[in-house]
Amino acid sequence: MPGTDKRKQSLYFPEDMLNEIQQEANRQDRSLSWIVQQAWKIARSEILRFPSVNDVLSGVAREDEREERERTSPPR
């Protein structure tokens, strides 16, 4: 592909996972990079459904605020 941006990036995997990726790359006679790129393409839509850290933290903050209001408001 002419004009494709190819940047190097270090990624760190647990040893067992890296061994599995390497075995699959060998089985398919592909590079580690190609295997990881295909895995990302397949998993991307599912990963995008994960909440972001900010979503999770703001949900925790809202829950903390609700609990604080309940503790400090006079009984009904």
Q: What is the pLDDT of residues 19-45, one digit of tens each?
A: 999 999 999 999 999 999 999 999 999
Torsion angle defined by CA atoms of residues 49, 53, 56 and 62, in that order, rounded to the nearest 10 degrees: -140
Can you give the residue ranges of every domain in the chain?
A: 15-72
Token duo for residue 71 = 């503790």
CA 44 to chain centre: 9
Q: Say how far apart CA 27 and CA 21 lie, in whole Å.
A: 10
Higher pLDDT, 52 or 70: 52
User: Residue 15 — very low, low, confident or very high, per pLDDT cuts 50/70/90?
Assistant: very high
Query: For residue 17, what pLDDT is reported?
Result: 97
Query: What pTM was computed for the model?
Result: 0.64
Query: For residue 57, what pLDDT is reported?
Result: 72
Region 58-70 average pLDDT: 66
